[in-house]
Structure 1
Amino acid sequence: MTDHERDHDLVVYGATGFVGALVAAYLADHGPDGVRIALGGRSREKLEQLRGRLGVDWPLIVAAADDEIAMAKLAASAQVVATTVGPYLKHGRTLVRACAAAGTDYVDLTGEVAFHRQSIDDNEEMSRSTGARIVHSCGFDSIPSDLGVHVLHQLVRGDDAGQLTDTTLVVTSLRGGFSGGTIDSMRTQVDVLRADRDLRRVAASAYSLSPDRKAEPELGRQEDAVSMPGRAVDRSLSGHVGPFMMASYNSRVVRRSNALRGWAYGRSFRYREAQSTGTSPAAPIIAAGLKVGLGALLAGLSLPPTRFVLDRVLPKPGSGPDEKTRRNGHFTMDIFTTTTTGARYRSRFRAKGDPGYAATAVMLGESALALVLDRDKLPPSDGGVLTPATALGDVLVDRLRATGVEISAKKLA
């Protein structure tokens, strides 16, 4: 069901960027007939070139991300805006604010804690007053985490097996590449948090995205960078696990979903993420190396001398993995939990294609289409700054399954 009082059902903003072009191509191949899609960006020439490559006749919207008037017009013209223009801390605040004010549903790919927190503070009240669904993190950050816990909770609830307690996502397989945009987002977050002590303190909290920090349960420290035997997660998991670089963001999105649902997952719900380092004797050493390496990268981006070097060797904005790498990529994430009744469960989120690019294009595209076409099936909402699970829930689960993504859950013996 679409809103024909607006010019467009969906605007893909940042369509000429690396990920934006992948999203546009996905929608050109898989978007249903009749969905009125427009391409947005700051260069008409590049937009025209993209439209020609895609073989579509979609309208073009030329607008700069920092132009408040242009962003307001873009938002008012659409039922839904999907934006890939990052780093969102640099380039995203004007558009999301315009969508909140216009009552326009919004999806993005941010993995930036500081931006997400600022968006909550800036847009929660306005988006509730207009009914806009502001849905951050609709890609590899953080749909597998958020929907994986969502289906896990549903099965536990259906079995009347209590509530979730200790819950751990483990990346059990992963193949893909990095883009300059991902690295640029990391740089921006480091710069912003280094300059803003208050925001740095908020971002460090396990509940930095909570709607009400004072109402959250006191569960002690929740570690982001973990290293432990797999059996410490669940007795069915062999080998060793180490830090997963997206854990510090994804975990906060999942905790926000729990809070927005009135702590339906449980008041004693503890959530963390890790990745498998294998079963070889070297696995614990690899896990320790990941922990040291991740810390060294962040420290290197924070210090001018090493930042100078890293800026010259890391991928530049606008670059990304080639078509073969994107096609041959894949990932599997298993989420293990123990419930308050002592039962053990596992959910799985598995997809083909490079996680951050090919698979992300599918996830963002289907999130946007869910808002355009399935509004009467979505979870009840008065608008607000939501998460994929709370805004899209089962509708997105069904859509992604239809594309070949495995999203499953089962009770463990």
Structure 2
Amino acid sequence: MPLKKHDREYDVVVFGATGYTGKFTAEHIATSLPTDLKWAVAGRSREKLEQVVAQCREWNPDRRLPSIEVCPLTDDDLSALARKTFILITTVGPYSRYGETAFKACAAAGTHYLDVTGEVPWVSRMIARHSSTAAETGAIMISQIGLESAPSDLVTWSLASILRKSLTGTSMRDVVVSLRVKGAPSGGTLSTVLTLFENIPLREALASFKPFALSPVPNPHPASPPAPSLLSRLTGVLRVPILGLQTTSVADRTDGALVERTWGLLQTIPSRKDQAYGPNFSFKQYMRAKSFLSGLAVHLSLMIFGLIIVTPVLRSVVSKYVTPPGEGASFEEAQKDEIEYRGVAKPDVPGSKTRAFCRAWYKGPNYFLTGVLLGEAAATLLEDDVDLAGGIYTPACLGQGFIDRLDKNGFRFESKIIEDVPE
């Protein structure tokens, strides 16, 4: 499919290409996107960028190499960079510390924008500050399009899609997504989590995590899933039909905030209203537990980690011992990574025993999957008619075409209807 015509120097720029996630993104673009792509790698160090270009030559000697753009984190430099490209991908975090300059520059320049933040409070800020500008300039801006939190968003969209096809006109009620992950977080991810409350006040952060806080419209009637037992509330462990034994997920509200924004956007975007989930929608995410004891251990570990995050003294101590930003698992170690999402959705039909089921999985470096998500989102914007005006969107707003691209690149999706499921 031909690339869209535009008047920019580049189709895509990867800002932060010398970092851990940025290199994976550059590798996917070099090996998988069209060979006539006009692209560049950007960052502060020319020497490190030259090393990335040399690696691109090794990854794929038959394609056009990226140009180099040396770009400090200043308003003038990032504004100039944004005006040069049709799409800017940025992997420079923590976004709550470094991200707004690039976001603001793209909104003002009408440049499509992709990032991989998991910082919901920062996303909330960007929506409040820059939505109107993006709408005026035509910039399509999508945050959280990496491991945080695109998979859950796309699984939820897939569940709604198969329900609509199988039960014509049926809305979706409560959705439960189960996560299983094998692999270690990168230094950038750890730094982001540990510094979030240094950059955003706790009260503002907590407000952004409230249900449907990022949705453009309120949800006055969300579904109320059955309340867990006292034992489940204390231990975090419970059993979910179809999904099996589950425990607390570290990404529940991070992913939930994005999914709930999608819920609101699908009601308000003219081209997406036929994809709306329904008025009684709710979302919950867990992590798969191998056993009761392992599930309890995960739950308690997350409680302790949460205490560390909100306690400045503990944060300071832990920060000295974690993997530093820009680093992560070695290539050999990361080859053993796996990630899998399983989702179940209930139709908004009283007494129905029909359920939609979706499984999405990837084997290989988890952060390479983030590179795949970014690269294929860029390809979708470059080649497809996404029928979106300027604004701040979510990964699911790119629709089935985006999911199909991911499936062809190793992030596989399967959906089906299951009948006669007991409550």
Letter in 2 for 1:10: V
Deviation at residue 350 of structure 1 after TM alignment: 0.9
Partner of 2:410: 404
Partner of 2:23: 21
User: Is 1:98 aligned to 2:126, yes or no?
Assistant: no
> Counterparts of 2:238 and 2:299 in 1: how far apart (Å)?
15
Q: Secondary structure at the match of 1:313?
A: coil
User: Is 1:251 aligned to 2:294, yes or no?
Assistant: no
Partner of 2:270: none
Partner of 1:271: 283
User: Is 1:347 aligned to 2:355, yes or no?
Assistant: no
Partner of 2:197: 190
User: Is 1:164 aligned to 2:169, yes or no?
Assistant: no
TM-score (norm 1): 0.91
Q: Among all aligned residue pairs of Structure 1 and Structure 2, give the percentage whose two residues are the same amino acid.
A: 28
245-254 vs 399-408, greater mean Cα deviation: 399-408
Match of 1:242 among 228, 244, 247: 247
> Counterparts of 1:126 and 1:331 in 2: how far apart (Å)?
36
Partner of 2:381: 371
Deviation at residue 44 of structure 1 after TM alignment: 1.2
Deviation at residue 295 of structure 1 after TM alignment: 2.1
Tell me: CA distance 1:151–1:203, structure 2 relative to 1, closer, same or farther (3 Å). Answer: same
Deviation at residue 45 of structure 1 after TM alignment: 1.5
Q: Secondary structure at the match of 2:335?
A: helix
For residues 5-404 of structure 1, the aligned pairs below 5 Å read 5-55=7-57, 57-65=65-73, 67-160=74-167, 162-171=170-179, 173-193=180-200, 195-197=201-203, 199-213=204-218, 216-217=220-221, 219=223, 227-230=236-239, 233-234=240-241, 236-238=242-244, 240-262=245-267, 264-278=276-290, 283-341=291-349, 342=352, 343-355=354-366, 357-374=367-384, 376=385, 378=386, 380-390=387-397, 392-404=398-410
Deviation at residue 105 of structure 1 after TM alignment: 0.5
Q: Secondary structure at the match of 1:150?
A: helix
Deviation at residue 208 of structure 1 after TM alignment: 2.2
> Counterparts of 1:220 and 1:149 in 2: how far apart (Å)?
17
How many residue pairs get matched? 395
Letter in 1 for 2:17: A
| Structure 1: tracts of 5 or more residues without a match | none
> Counterparts of 1:23 and 1:385 in 2: how far apart (Å)?
22
Once the two structures are superposed, what CA deviation does each residue of 1:238-281 show, in whole Å capped at 9, x if it has no partner? 3x210111111101101110111118212111111001112xxx
TM-score (norm 2): 0.89
> Counterparts of 2:333 and 2:156 in 1: how far apart (Å)?
28
> Counterparts of 2:195 and 2:288 in 1: how far apart (Å)?
28
> Counterparts of 1:304 and 1:149 in 2: how far apart (Å)?
36
Quote the RMSD (CA, aligned, Å): 2.1
Tell me: CA distance 1:147–1:166, structure 2 relative to 1, closer, same or farther (3 Å). Answer: same
Letter in 2 for 1:284: F
323-332 vs 120-129, greater mean Cα deviation: 323-332
322-331 vs 117-126, greater mean Cα deviation: 322-331
Given that 1:327 and 1:358 are in contact with CA atoms closer than 8 Å, whether structure 2 keeps it comes out as no
